[in-house]
Chain A
Amino acid sequence: MGSKKALTDAERAIYEWQIWVPDFGEEGQEILKGSSILISRCGGLGSVVAYELVAAGVGRLVLAHGGDVKPSDLNRQLVMTHDWIGKPRIESAVRRLRELNPHITIEGVGENVTDGNVEQLVAEVYLVVDCAPLFEERFLMNREAVRQGKPLIECAMYDLDAQITTIIPGKTPCLQCLYPEKPPVWKRQFPVFGAVSGTVGCLGAMEAIKVLTGLGEPLLDRFLVCNLRDMTFRTFNITRNPDCKICGGLT
């Protein structure tokens, strides 16, 4: 994935403690520096994915998120700030992430993913982390990531529950292998603590780092279901649907 980029002494100092991680090292950091990632929406989940990837030194991050900051965003959307209520969310996100790490490139797109922009957004990056709150947007992203052969981290939450899997098009099940149609009951507004969306956001960021650098074993063909009410975390094996209308024809 991506091309390696040599580190400066300043970067070596910033990332020193993660460079100590076995099987990651300076080479892993160079790969992250040469990588680019798209995060679809920086809400409760995407905010934390972005925070962790920015802190970890991913070279270029593209964020897509529309709308203005609302008071009800602030219990979980950690890149949104009180002083920015009523102003574009993407400006708050970019500003806060640049404060966290001025050494990387952060590109903000003030739109959610649509049929009109998804192809270009996905074309610009090596990997996508999907944090959108609607199946329409997630299906669009899944279709495009599969079409372009880009890895896609699918992470989601509801209440005190979370789910995550990592999709490698043509190798693992895609989102529509799991859910062939739009689930009829999903609603735009859902109960959420920031600590739940943040938990699965951290898992999603770690999956992205693992896929890009070859570290560890990502959740390929596996579906992690987390219940934070009783702290049960279960991993299930999942299989591709040969009749999937999105990835069924890929080998």
Chain B
Amino acid sequence: MKVTVEYSSQIRRIGGVSSETVELDTSCQVQELVKQLAGDHGESFRSLIIDSAGNLQSTILVFVNDKQISRDASVEVADNDMVHIIAPMAGG
């Protein structure tokens, strides 16, 4: 199964990656996928997405297609899903 993950704003800038497509043999929880990928683009990138306890940062927004995924929701990715990882911003 093929899943595309897109990164926004500060995350994209720090990781130097705007999106990546991953092939999965079996489905997995969205949060697990995000945590796994967070380790692939350097420590600054990882710490933007993952907190010191190893959980997703509470201030990172995760969407699958156009639906918001809360941190404790149990949602599995499906073939051709688009996962969006969105960083907070307050620029005025």
Residues of A that sit less than 8 Å from B by CB: 41, 43-46, 131-135, 138, 156-159, 161-163, 178-186, 190, 192, 197, 223, 225, 227, 234-239, 241
Contact = CB atoms under 8 A, between A and B. Distances in A.
B81 to A, nearest CB: 14
B58 A45 contact: no
Given A161-B8, A184-B59, A236-B84, A134 B68 contact: no
A180 B84 contact: no
| 9 shortest interchain CB distances as A-B pairs | A158-B89, A183-B59, A161-B9, A183-B88, A131-B92, A133-B92, A157-B91, A45-B92, A179-B59
A172 to B, nearest CB: 12
Contacts, number: 90
B70 interface: yes
Contacts of B92: 41, 43-46, 131-133, 156-157, 197
Given A223-B61, A237-B67, 6 more contacts: A41-B92, A179-B59, A179-B88, A186-B90, A197-B92, A225-B86
Contacts of B2: none
Contacts of B8: 161, 225, 227
B27 interface: no
Interface residues of B, number: 22
B4 interface: no
Given A158-B9, A158-B10, A241 B88 contact: no
A190 B91 contact: yes
Contacts of A162: 89
